[in-house]
């Protein structure tokens, strides 16, 4: 069992140290991700949100990865309150989402927000009070550079 754990840790560590081209099959920019969200989801909802809570997620495996690679940042989870709907209407009051999972090459490196920051969340939901599936999330300043709907609706 110890040998399996050691092999698993070594494999994960090796994957983390790989160059982006090797670790991620296709790196997509925020612009590509946002365009794909619009193109792939007829029921897409887009909301301007204010971050109410942001924290790193910790698990024994994550702690081991951090010991193996000092540059490894733990995934993080955010809770945010909806300020304004940009696309569609009806939304849960709060949205929760995670970022930072996967290899550093696949993750776009967006830093964890702070409480009070404004972000844009692209998601689907089966109802205005149902759980949301967050597809993409970006700081307002970043999303505004690539999503013209934000320039028209957010000040």
**pLDDT one-digit tens code per residue, 55-91:** 888 777 777 777 787 666 678 899 999 999 999 887 7
Query: CA dist 25 to 22, 31, 102, Å?
Result: 7, 18, 12
Pairwise CA distance, residues 32 & 148, whole Å:
14
110: pLDDT confidence band, cut at 50, 70 and 90? confident
Give the max Cα distance, the chain.
Answer: 57
For 115-147, how does the pLDDT look when each residue is reduced to its tens digit (9 = 90+)? 999 999 999 987 666 678 899 999 999 999 999
Supply the pTM of this predicted model.
Answer: 0.74
Chain center to CA of 136 = 6
Domains and CATH numbers, the chain: 2-153 (2.40.50)
Planar angle of CA 109, 115, 116, nearest 5 degrees: 105
What pLDDT sits at residue 22? 43
Q: Residue 146, Cα to own-chain centre: how many angstroms?
A: 17
């Amino acid at each position: 069992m110890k040998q399996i754990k050691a092999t698993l840790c070594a494999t994960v560590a090796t994957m983390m140290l790989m160059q982006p081209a090797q670790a991620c099959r296709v790196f997509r920019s925020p612009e590509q991700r946002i365009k794909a969200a619009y193109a792939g989801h007829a029921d897409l909802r887009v909301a301007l949100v204010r971050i109410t809570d942001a924290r790193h997620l910790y698990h024994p495996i994550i702690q081991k990865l951090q010991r193996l690679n000092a540059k490894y940042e733990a995934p993080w989870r955010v809770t945010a309150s909806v300020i304004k709907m940009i696309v569609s209407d009806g939304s849960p009051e709060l949205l929760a989402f995670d970022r930072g999972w996967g290899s550093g090459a696949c993750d776009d490196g967006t830093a964890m927000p702070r409480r009070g920051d404004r972000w844009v969340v692209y998601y689907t939901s089966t109802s205005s009070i149902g759980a949301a599936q967050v597809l993409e999330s970006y700081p307002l300043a970043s999303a505004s550079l690539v999503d013209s709907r934000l320039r028209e609706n957010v000040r």
